[in-house]
């Protein structure tokens, strides 16, 4: 249980460093450290599927960010912070923190399965009947591709539509790459 | 320290040490990605993670050898067609469930040809769905990263 708090502290320190530093390369590396800490946290919370996906997408996102910032010769952030905006943000965060302290006392411990104690929960049905009904040993895959396959169909549609949108917008610059060779 | 000219002119690639190591490592990355997709119903992983790993092997080639080499090797029209093929395969598996059993998106192979549990040939349409999703996600992400890298502020790289 102590490993959760150590990783949480690591992620918070990396996030604050990413905001406060003036060098863009350091900022991008700190963002990568936050994603790496999240992947370790998923591994210790016994969710290896999400940990694999998180670390691979984090590496790809880091490559995109580094190529986008370093190659344009922008390595330093300039400009001042606004005073009024900072004061309003601090006041709102303090009010939400006071309300959150009351809510956090009623939640169970970090990392426990909440639905395992609820009677008639769907998760217990998936665990007990997953292998018999679908034949897959990985219960997570049997949930996302058999019991709840509509959600995966919707997610694939969203990814497809966003890629079409991005290709249409970037088409003007990459016009000769997307034409058929004669 | 990184050389700014070599990185800003991304069309030519990196030094010869990077090119040699990348040409050895890309085979391992593609093999690992195919393993994660195929065994998605037995071990952690599945279509999404495996697809991203396949896309990242081609991103490694693009960073090490330059954009023109990758454009000759795997043209963008082919990548776009693979993307559409993956999406169509996934929709086809859903419609075939309606044709064979009267319910949309039912696992029809598990009812008629069950296979052996805990082996590779099991779980009905789940491995086929994993392959379709992996193809789709990998092609989509590689397409977006390639197109984003041609979008530069100076116009000398895309003449």
Question: What tens digit of pLDDT does each residue of B70-83 get?
Answer: 888 888 889 999 99
ipTM value, please give it: 0.81
Identify whether the C-beta of residue B11 lies closer than 8 Å to the C-beta of residue B157.
Answer: yes
Q: Tell me the two tokens of residue A4.
A: 């959760």
Q: What's the pLDDT tens digit per position in A122-176? A: 888 888 888 888 888 888 888 898 888 889 999 999 999 999 998 888 877 666 6
Choose, out of A43, A145, A157, the residue to mutate when testing the contact with B (most B CBs < 10 Å). A145
SS3 of residue B128 by DSSP: helix
Q: What's the pLDDT tens digit per position in A39-95? A: 999 999 888 999 999 999 999 989 888 877 766 666 666 666 678 888 999 999 999
Contact B123 A68 (CB under 8 A): no
Q: How far apart are CA A28 and CA A10, in angstroms?
A: 16
Q: Tell me the two tokens of residue A45.
A: 């919370």
Identify whether the C-beta of residue B21 lies closer than 8 Å to the C-beta of residue A24.
Answer: no
Identify whether the C-beta of residue B137 lies closer than 8 Å to the C-beta of residue B148.
Answer: no
Predicted TM-score (pTM) of the model is 0.82
3-class secondary structure per residue, B62-80: HHHHCHHHHHHHCCHHHHH
Q: Tell me the two tokens of residue B25.
A: 């490592």
> In this complex, is the C-beta atom of B2 within 8 Å of any C-beta atom belonging to chain A?
yes
> In this complex, is the C-beta atom of B13 within 8 Å of any C-beta atom belonging to chain A?
no
Contact B147 A166 (CB under 8 A): yes
Q: How far apart, in Å, are the Cα atoms of A167 and each of A152, A173, B90, B127?
A: 23, 10, 22, 29
């Amino acid at each position: 249980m102590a490993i959760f708090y150590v990783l949480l502290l690591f992620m918070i320190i990396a996030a604050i460093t990413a905001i406060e530093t003036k060098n863009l390369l350091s900022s991008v590396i700190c963002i990568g450290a936050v994603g790496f800490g999240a992947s370790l946290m998923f591994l210790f919370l016994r969710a290896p599927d999400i940990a694999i996906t998180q670390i691979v997408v984090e590496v790809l996102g880091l490559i995109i960010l580094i190529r986008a910032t370093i190659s344009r010769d922008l390595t330093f952030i300039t400009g001042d912070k606004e005073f009024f905006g900072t004061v309003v943000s601090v006041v709102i965060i303090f009010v939400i923190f006071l309300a959150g302290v009351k809510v956090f006392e009623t939640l169970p411990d970090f990392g426990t399965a909440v639905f395992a104690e609820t009677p008639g929960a769907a998760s217990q049905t998936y665990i007990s009947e997953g292998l018999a009904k679908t034949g897959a040993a990985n219960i997570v895959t049997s949930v996302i591709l058999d019991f709840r396959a509509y959600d995966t169909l919707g997610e694939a549609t969203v990814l497809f539509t966003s890629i079409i949108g991005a290709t249409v917008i970037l088409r003007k610059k990459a016009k000769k790459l997307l034409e058929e060779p004669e | 320290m990184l050389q700014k000219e070599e990185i800003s002119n991304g069309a030519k690639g990196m030094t010869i040490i990077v090119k040699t190591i990348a040409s050895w490592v890309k085979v391992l990355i593609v093999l690992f990605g195919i393993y994660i997709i195929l065994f998605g119903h037995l071990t952690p992983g599945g279509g999404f993670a495996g697809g991203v790993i396949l896309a990242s092997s081609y991103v490694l080639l693009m960073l090490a050898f330059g954009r023109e080499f990758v454009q000759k090797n795997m043209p963008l029209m082919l990548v776009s067609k693979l993307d559409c093929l993956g999406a169509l395969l996934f929709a086809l598996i859903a419609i075939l469930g309606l044709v064979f059993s009267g319910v949309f998106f039912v696992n029809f192979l598990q009812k008629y040809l069950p296979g052996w549990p805990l082996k590779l040939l099991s779980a009905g349409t789940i491995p086929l769905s994993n392959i379709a999703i992996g193809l789709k996600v990998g092609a989509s992400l590689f397409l977006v990263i390639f197109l984003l890298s041609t979008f530069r502020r100076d116009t000398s790289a895309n003449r």
